[in-house]
Amino acid sequence: MTMLFETGLSRRFFLRGTGGGLLLGSALGAAGPSFAQSTGASGGGGPALPPDGPTGRPMPEMEKAMPEAPGKRLGYAIVGLGQFALNQIIPSFAESKSSKLVALVSGNRDKALQVADRYGVEQANIYDYQNFDRIADNDEIDIVYIILPNALHAEYTVRAFKAGKHVLCEKPMAVTADECETMIRAGREADRKLMIAYRAQYEPYNMEAIRMAREGELGRIRLVTSDHGRILDPKVPADQWRMVKALAGGGSLYDIGIYSLQAARTITGEEPVEVSAHISSDRSDPRFREIEELVAFQLRFPSGALANLTSSYSTAPVKRIQVFGSKASLVLDPATEYERHQMMVKTEKEERRVQIPEGNQFAAEMDHMAKAVLEEREPKTPGEEGLRDIRIMQAIYQAAEQGRPVSLETTGSTAR
């Protein structure tokens, strides 16, 4: 099943290719409103010509849904103006439908002023890490999005809940399972929502792969493999805290192995019952004095399906997911890029490319959170989802250290 692009596009190309406006009237014919009807012009016979002067036309056919009016969108405060916040998240508000940027939290006022100026944030809505708690007095802020080094996620989540705000928090949720539990409890006590920013679960290709696997289009899922690797670069500021265990919590596993883990859990729809793992770190390399370099881990699921997963901080970039079912296999490569995903499905008889329109996954996840708040429902990726991954990753470290498999408590299928 190869999906085609939206029909709106092909119609536009058809009109361009055939001379545009004049043909539009006759192409619509009896089926659509004629230009004469829509402008109030009259005349018998053929299609009406546009008037010579300026005129107001009816609303055109919309190719993209319009956003909510600004007053109906929920206001976000972004905490931490680093690489990811400035390159991916803040620009994506322009493509969001239910979210808007209203406040910034940064330790660097000059940078915050520059960003505020460019994105129309009022200076009064700039906070730093000391006066952060004053967001409690700002009704424009509905949701706080935490994009800080991992070890700071728990503190700022709890402080945001104390200020009466909802929280969207970057992955990994926190460093320890205890921190995750504290965050979940703080949200419940404040009666506010907590969502973990697992962007892949809001990205169209990943969602389609999950759907195909869960709806049996690949047959019975027996094996998932996934590899996430990149080269950690000490010259890049965003990679400097990633080398410090006290700030990052872990190495390649916590940062990008979490995508391999998420792939196996979301595609099978099951929780692993057992994990085994190997870790290898070149301790003579200053990057890996505190955090791990390479992780290879295996998960066993209640259905008998297996996952063979890796993460690396010292090899050329890879972001790949492969699913092997009894009827077909699926390759998503790149799988967890910001854009330009590629998906192939292979059976004994054929190999075909699955093409679907790309979507802005960052805008989609922010809008999902805004809708969850507005409609008072749990987000698809709540704090409990983040906690599950932290528990499994802790078991992965334990399995590697002990040199034998570790069994995990399981609650059965993922309830999504």
Longest dimension (CA), the chain: 87
Out of 67, 149, 269, 383, name the contact with ligand NAD by CB under 6 A: 149
Residues annotated catalytic, as ranges: 171, 259
The least distance separating ligand NAD from the CB of residue 149, rounded to whole angstroms, comes to 5
Tokens of 273: 């019952």
Of the candidates 3, 49, 238, 246, which one interacts with ligand NAD according to CB under 6 A?
Answer: 238
**CB of 403 vs ligand NAD, minimal distance in Å:** 29
Span of 80-88, 91-99, 212-220, 405-413 interacting with ligand NAD by CB under 6 A? 80-88
Tell me how far, at minimum, the Cβ of 200 lies from ligand NAD, in Å: 8
> Is position 37 an interface residue for ligand NAD (rule: CB under 6 A)?
no
Which of the ranges 78-86, 326-334, 344-352, 366-374 carries the binding residues for ligand NAD, by CB under 6 A?
Answer: 78-86
Nearest distance in Å: CB 265, ligand NAD: 16
Out of 20, 32, 107, 234, name the contact with ligand NAD by CB under 6 A: 107
Single out the segment in contact with ligand NAD by CB under 6 A; choices: 27-35, 145-153, 346-354, 391-399.
145-153
Q: Give me the least distance between CB of 82 and ligand NAD, in Å please.
A: 2
Return the residue of 102, 103, 116, 147 that touches ligand NAD, per CB under 6 A: 147
Q: How far is the CB of 47 from ligand NAD (least distance, A)?
A: 50
Q: Counting contacts by CB under 6 A, is residue 173 touching ligand NAD?
A: no
Site for ligand NAD contains 241 (CB under 6 A): yes
Considering the rule CB under 6 A, would residue 112 count as an interface residue with ligand NAD? no
End-to-end CA distance of the chain: 24
Does residue 82 bind ligand NAD (CB under 6 A)? yes
Rounded to whole angstroms, the Cα distance separating 162 from 170 reads 19
d(CA 173, CA 52): 60
- Angle CA(324)–CA(326)–CA(327) in degrees, nearest 5? 95
Cα–Cα dist 295/312, whole Å? 7
**Does position 81 bind ligand NAD by CB under 6 A?**
yes
Residue 408, φ and ψ in degrees, nearest 5: -120, 145
The minimum distance between CB 241 and ligand NAD, in angstroms, equals 4
Smaller CB separation from ligand NAD, 325 or 386: 386
Measure the CA–CA gap between 368 and 5, rounded to whole angstroms: 24
Q: Applying CB under 6 A, which of residues 98, 99, 150, 262 lies at the interface with ligand NAD?
A: 150
Q: Give burial (CB, 10 Å; 0-12/13-18/19+) of 162.
A: middle
* 73 vs 228, beta carbon nearer ligand NAD: 228
Strands (E), 214-313: 221-231, 274-280, 294-300, 306-312
Is residue 247 part of the contact set for ligand NAD (CB under 6 A)? yes
Does the protein bind ligand NAD through residue 119 (CB under 6 A)? no
Q: Are strands 143-146 and 166-169 parallel, antiparallel or unpaired?
A: parallel
| Token pair of 174 as six digits | 């926190």
* Amino acid at position 49, single letter: L
DSSP 166-227: EEEEPSS--SSHHHHHHHHHHHHHHT--EEE--GGGGSHHHHHHHHHHHTTTT-SEEEEEEE
- Whether 408 contacts 273, CB under 8 Å: yes
Q: How many residues bind ligand NAD (CB under 6 A)?
A: 21
* Residue from 3, 72, 170 nearest 374 by CA: 72
Which H or E run includes 75?
A: strand 74-79
Residues 177-236 that bind ligand NAD (CB under 6 A): 197, 199
Q: Which stretch binds ligand NAD (CB under 6 A): 17-25, 146-154, 177-185, 313-321?
A: 146-154
Assess 171 for contact with ligand NAD (CB under 6 A). Answer: yes
Instruction: Give phi and psi for 148, each to the nearest 5.
Output: -105, 170
Residues that bind ligand NAD (CB under 6 A): 80-85, 107, 147-150, 152, 170-171, 197, 199, 237-238, 241, 247, 255
